[in-house]
Amino acid sequence: PGSLTMEVQDVPALAKIARNHGLVSLSDNTWASPLGFPALERGVDISIMSLTKHVGGHSDLMMGSASAGPELYARLRKRAQSLGQVVSPDDAALALRGLRTLGVRLERETASALEVAGWLANRPEVALVMCPMLPGSPGHELWKRDFTGGCGLFSFVLKGGTADRRDNFIDALELFGIGYSWGGFESLAVPVDPASIRSVTPWPPTGLDGTDRFGVRLSIGLEDPADLIADLENALGVIQRA
């Protein structure tokens, strides 16, 4: 999915089109990881990931990966060597540490995110929840068809208001940190304004009021989801009383 508004692409169809035209397809599989989306099995030629996120898992690693099937691996490996791509032993050890708990952490994140997203979807202050794993959310049918898992990253749009109102909501959060990275053990929130960076597709999308513009992206970590919901409820109360 897109990392702000969570659009889900029809990856098998796009990969087939690319292959029919002699093109190499590349997909960023950071959101679900291969545990939740087997990109190569879905027809993608090269799958890349930010290992900084879920694989690291502790917000103390900067690393990426590129994986390919037998047809392209030799070329990919040769190019990486030609460009001098190297990883330090310490960083490799941190990635290996994260891999040992990746499955357990993703299961917990996904379950907690679904609980939090479902709660937000029923709040009158929320205009839209963008969480592909959640039934009724945009992209859910493609997610259900192609994915076997998810993660804790999703976004929602506040109903009406201004950027200041959205920022006041984030400032009122106590358990959520503020940060653009994600996939670690701690929950994070960051303001998003898709209208300010779009040049082709409109925002807000069809069905929303023109004032339903300002959103929040959440990365749900390993905290108790009941505590996170209580924190969100308190922050919604703060902006309602303002």
The closest of 121, 131, 133 to 232, measured between CA atoms, is: 121
pLDDT value at position 172? 98
The closest of 221, 188, 189, 224 to 57, measured between CA atoms, is: 221
pTM of the predicted model over 0.85: yes
Q: How far is CA 237 from the centre of its chain?
A: 26
Instruction: Give mean pLDDT in consecutive 10-residue pieces for the chain, a chain of 242 residues.
Output: 93 98 97 97 98 96 95 93 93 97 98 99 96 96 98 96 94 96 96 86 79 94 99 97 80
Distance CA 10, CA 180 (A): 26
Domains of the chain: 11-91 (3.40.640.10), 101-241 (3.90.1150.10)
pLDDT value at position 222? 98
pLDDT value at position 195? 83
- Beta partners for residue 156, in sequence order: 129, 216
Q: What single string gives the DSSP state of each residue in 15-69?
A: HHHHHHTTPPPEEE-TTTHHHH--TGGGT-SEEEEETTTTTT-SS----EEEEE-
Lookup result for tokens 């993608």: 44
- Beta partners for residue 191, in sequence order: 216
Distance CA 58, CA 98 (A): 8
Distance CA 187, CA 113 (A): 10
Beta strand 126-130 pairing with 153-158: antiparallel
